[in-house]
Structure 1
Amino acid sequence: MTESRRLPRAMTSGGASVAVRLPVGAGTLAHRPTYRRIAPDNKYDQRTVVSAACAPQGAECRELSAGWADHLGALACTAPACFPDVDTENGVTR
């Protein structure tokens, strides 16, 4: 289980995106988004699925702005692939 903390302040005001699993609310984990193609062998099919960087083959996520996710109470996932350098309570990176 990873520890969770506030999203980095620079992300919430800069328009960055995060990946969250629905429903979004207080305590929902916000992950660094990764994109995988639905049909990687078909060069004409460019559709993608958003997933969490810490579990790229895991459940499908939805992409939200970091500011909106923070407003709804989402917390930063501190897994090494997501946001490992988020400070405890301030939402700043170390």
Structure 2
Amino acid sequence: MKDYYIYIMTNKSKTLYTGMTNNLNRRVYEHKNKLIEGFTKKYNIDKLIYFELFNNPKDAIRREKQIKGWIRKKKIELIESMNPEWKDLSEGI
């Protein structure tokens, strides 16, 4: 069975990026090393601050879209419910 993740990353300015992947370690590495062109490279998004694990890709996609539709305040509340100090969680995975 394959794992799927939704994740939220940030930078020093606390700009938020929400994504979905089937390999969280690889994807965080790609963001941290600026290997992907686009928003995360442009805004130096390099700190994993939140993630959830799913067994079904459809559930992960649904959750990603749900979170992306939220206002910033609600996203911050979600992050701080698991990671109140906004620590980089990539060191523990």
Q: Same fold (TM over 0.5)?
A: no
Of Structure 1 and Structure 2, the greater helix share is in 2
Q: TM-score, normalised by structure 1?
A: 0.28
Of Structure 1 and Structure 2, the greater strand share is in 1
Q: TM-score, normalised by structure 2?
A: 0.28
